[in-house]
Amino acid sequence: MAIKQQTMLWYWVAMIILVLVLAQSYFLKPQTTTIPYSDFKTLLAAGKVREATVGRSTIDAEIDIQGTDKLLPAAEYHAIAAESRTQTAPELRQIVTDRVQDPQLTSELQAAHVRFSGSVQSTWLSTLLAWVLPIAVIMLMWGWLMRKGMGGAGMGSVMGIGQSKAKVYVETATGVRFADVAGIDEAKAELEEVVQFLRDPQRFRRLGGKIPKGVLIVGAPGTGKTLLAKAVAGEAGVPFLSISGSEFVEMFVGVGAARVRDLFAQAQQRAPCIIFIDELDALGKARGITGVGGNDEREQTLNQLLVQMDGFDSQRGVIILAATNRPEILDPALLRPGRFDRHVAVDRPDVKGREAILKVHAKGVVLAPDVDLAVVAAKTPGFAGADLANIINEAALHAAREGKTAVQMADLEEAIDRVIAGLEKRNRIMNPKEKETVAYHESGHALVAESRPHADRVSKISIIPRGIAALGYTQQLPTEERYLLKRSELLDRLDVLLGGRVAEELVYGDVSTGAQDDLRRATDMARHMITQYGMSERLGQVTFDAPRQGAFLAVPEMPQQVTYSEETARLIDEEIARLIRESHERVTQTLSEQRGTLEALARLLLEKEVVDRPALDALLKAARSAPAAAGTPPAGAARAAPA
Ligand code: ADP
Ligand code: ZN
């Protein structure tokens, strides 16, 4: 791309130079016949010169053509005579001659009563052509280059330093409304407040309302983060300034920072408005994460962003929305209060949501009566909004190719297969067996949480893949904010973490790799209990050097300086293993006792993909009132406090 642009550039430069040369030679070409100096002298001596303008190197003169045919060579006479006449008299002609070093000239001109003047050599036209025009052209090209070359490497970006105007996409009206965004209602609801504020910043200010400066929209690619941000702008009726994080990061140190400044300056002018930074992770990666040396440019850009976010006054109605699918690698400084302190999660849609999204995109498409979008939704677990939009589009194209008048179910099926094939390559679709495993795994977590008095209540279970690592999740809402945790509470949490793995063991007699994160967290927790909180009888009330917490940053851990003996180290390891082993036993018992409920919950999950609190309550209630299933004691019995 860059190479092509450069060739184009040189082509243009050549064209412009050519035009200039032609123009110069045309306009500056003497309109008069050039004659030898000797002939000029002859004419002067003969009294034929009327007026003369003595320039630095030439003399322009007006001569009387009459009677000069004897004085001049024939060819020259005819050339002069053929020149267009001056207005003053029919016999007058203009000639020009090259000036020769001639001290007598002035006196001779005087003697011949010629009106003469000094150099007025360059007329305004020639000045214009020779100087002003080329400069104007060069400046035009400069501007053009700046605009063209902003993004690409090479010449363009060198010239465009600090001028981000070209890459900030400004939409005065996005035209997207909340109605165009389907299936992510929770995220929409959370952004409703931002819309209210942008509509009427004055009102919020008067009431002393505090408005977030930055909202981070977190979600997998194609889940509609950009769409959502545009919808906020559309609903509020404010301009939408967008730029991608990766565009900030340039080769040249300082460019990105200048762009950030420029972006914010533009936003201030257009307030109220929305700044949308896509791929925030590209520029907001934690500092130091790249290892030795780091990336100076990115760091400068990030620092500039932080400075600008702190510096500007959100009360004027500028709100920064940013999108990322990797919040965990963001620099913690970006997430501090006053920056991106609000997070809105955008999940892949569930069955209902998928149907709603399909409906939105099917609006402009003629559907045959046999089409049931609910069926399409059921067949597309794990699809994001963009994938669903793609399906409708593919189906419409397919139908058109076949010459149909409406999109039929067969077209949609075909499109699903196609999109699935594409997604499978990118590893984003679970096969049914995997899905079942995840359903049991999450049901295990949920049931253990519900069986432990000190564990947080389950608010939602989902087997919709989220992000790269998590295939499903069980969400627990703490009943209250906790600062101190008792040993019994920590043990209950440990149990919940192991619930997923144990459920897999019970159901399949085998385990999967899906519990890796659970096990890491369980081990971490056990290690903390023993080395930090003094919760081990064998080791006593002692703390040991903290394992360096890399909780948020994926910074490779530094080698630890160990300050305890090998013997103690072995003891610590033993104690950790014991805690985990005991927890494993407790959880195995709990889940075996509730095997029937586990099966029922997993089946419900497979069907609905998401089970919320009311659905879970209903299921648990049914299980309690019908404990008939083999060996399932009443739920109350399973609540035995952990050892
Ligand atoms: P992201 O920014 O999360 O990668 P986009 O917002 O760019 O995703 O989504 C790409 C396209 O997919 C949108 O333009 C829209 O057509 C479609 N899309 C995604 N999510 C939704 C949704 N929830 N409702 C309707 N359309 C959606
Ligand atoms: Zn798990």
CATH number for the domain spanning 248: value is 3.40.50.300
Same domain, 113 and 208: no
Give the residue-averaged pLDDT of 119-126: 62
SS3 181: coil
Residues 13 and 156 both lie in one domain: yes
End of a domain among 139, 160, 181? 160
Q: Are residues 518 and 535 in the same domain?
A: yes
3-state secondary structure (DSSP) of residue 57: coil
Instruction: Indicate whether 612 belongs to any domain.
Output: yes
Residues 147 and 192 reside in one and the same domain: no
> Residue 310's pLDDT band (boundaries 50, 70, 90)?
confident
In a domain, 632, yes or no: no
- Quote the pLDDT of residue 295: 61
The answer, yes or no, to whether any atom of ligand 1 lies below 6 A from the CB of 182, is yes
How far apart CA 83 and CA 145 sit, in angstroms, is: 45
Q: Is 220 in the pocket of ligand 1 (CB under 6 A)?
A: no
- Residues 395 and 472 reside in one and the same domain: no
d(CA 260, CA 298): 12
Among the bound ligands, the one closest to the CA of 520: 2
Claim to verify: residue 252 and residue 361 sit in the same structural domain: no
Whether 184 lines ligand 1, by a CB cut-off of 6 Å, is yes
Neighbours of 438 (CB within 10 A): 26
Q: Is residue 87 over pLDDT 50?
A: yes
State which residues have CB under 5 angstroms from ligand 2, the bound ion: 500, 518
The residue whose CA is least distant from atom 15 of ligand 1 is 386
Q: What value does the mean pLDDT take over residues 627-638? A: 45
pTM comes to: 0.53
Tokens of 181: 């965004």
- The CATH number of residue 383's host domain is 1.10.8.60
- Among 383-387, 441-445, 446-450, 510-514, which is the least confidently predicted range? 510-514
250, 442, 575, 593: the catalytic one is: 442
429 Cα: distance to centroid of ligand 1 (angstroms):
18
Closest Cα to atom 4 of ligand 1: 222
Same domain, residue pair 109 and 133: no
| Residue 310 structure tokens | 């702190």
Distance from first CA to last CA of the chain, Å, rounded? 67
pLDDT in tens, 169-211: 778 778 889 889 998 888 898 898 889 888 887 777 777 767 7
- Angle CA(457)–CA(463)–CA(464) in degrees, nearest 5? 120
Helices (H), 86-224: 105-111, 124-127, 133-149, 155-159, 185-199, 201-206
Kindly report the number of other CB atoms within 10 A of residue 402's CB atom. Answer: 11
- Residues 430-448 pLDDT 10s: 678 888 999 999 999 999 9
CB crowding 119-157: b at 16 or more within 10 Å, else e: eeeeeeeeeebeeeeeeeeeeeeeeebbebbbeeeeebb
Nearest alpha-carbon partner for 256 in 167, 341, 334, 155: 167
- Secondary structure of residue 273 in the 3-state scheme: strand
Percent with pLDDT over 70 in the chain: 79
The CA 485 to ligand 2 mean position distance, Å, reads 22
- What is the pLDDT at residue 537? 77
Task: Give the domain CATH number at 48.
Answer: 3.30.720.210
Tell which atom from ligand 1 comes closest to the C-alpha of 182. Answer: 24
**How large is the average pLDDT for residues 445-468?**
82
Is pLDDT at 260 greater than 90 in this prediction?
Answer: no
What the block records as the tokens of 11 is 């082509």
Alpha helices in 370-408 (DSSP H): 373-378, 385-401
Q: Specify if 316 maps to a domain.
A: yes
State yes or no: cis peptide before 272, omega within 30 of 0.
yes
At 84 the pLDDT is 62
- For residue 215, list its beta bridge partners: 321, 342
C-beta separation of 579 from 529 below 8 A: yes
Do 173 and 43 lie in one domain? The reply is no
* E-state strands within 334-411: 342-346
**How many whole angstroms separate alpha carbon 376 and alpha carbon 385?**
13
Non-local CB neighbours of 82 within 8 Å, separated by 6+ positions: none
Residue 515 belongs to domain with CATH number:
1.20.58.760
Q: Say if residue 600 is in the same domain as residue 561.
A: yes
Taking the centre of ligand 1 as the mean of its atom positions, its distance from the CA of residue 585, in whole angstroms, is: 45
- Same structural domain, 76 and 145: no
Q: Is there a single domain that holds both residue 114 and residue 151? A: no
Ligand 1 pocket member 229 (CB < 6 A): no
Ligand 1 neighbour 222 (Cβ under 6 A): yes
- Would residue 640 count as lying in a domain? no
Residue 305's contacts (CB-CB under 8 Å, 6 or more residues apart) are 260, 283, 284, 334
Whether 306 is covered by a domain: the verdict is yes
Average pLDDT of the residues of the chain: 79
Whether 87 maps to a domain, the answer reads yes
Three-state secondary-structure class, residue 97: strand
Strand partners, 61: 52, 95
Domain count, the chain: 5
How far does the centroid of ligand 2 lie from the alpha carbon of residue 451, in Å?
A: 16
Percent of the chain with pLDDT over 90: 18
- Do residue 480 and residue 551 come from a single domain? yes
Give the Cα separation of 532 and 545 in Å (integer).
Answer: 8
Tokens of 157: 């970006």
Q: Where are the alpha helices (DSSP H) in 65-153?
A: 74-82, 105-111, 124-127, 133-149
Q: Residue 329 is part of which domain span? A: 167-346
Residue 638 belongs to some domain of the structure: no
pLDDT in tens, 321-369: 999 988 878 888 888 888 888 888 888 888 889 999 999 999 888 899 9
Q: Is any atom of ligand 1 closer than 6 Å to the C-beta of 186?
A: no
CA 593 / ligand 2 centre spacing (Å): 20
Amino acid at 212: P
Backbone phi and psi for residue 250, each to the nearest 5 degrees, phi listed first: -115, 170
Identify which of 159-173, 199-213, 283-297, 624-638 has the greatest average pLDDT. Answer: 199-213
> With left for phi above 0 and alpha for psi between -120 and 50, is residue 96 left, alpha or beta?
beta
- Tens digits of per-residue pLDDT, 105-116? 888 888 888 888
> Would the CB of 176 count as within 6 Å of ligand 1?
no
Q: Look at residue 634 and tell me if it is in a domain.
A: no
Q: Which helix (H) or strand (E) holds 462?
A: strand 457-462
**Whether residue 582 lies in the annotated active site:** no
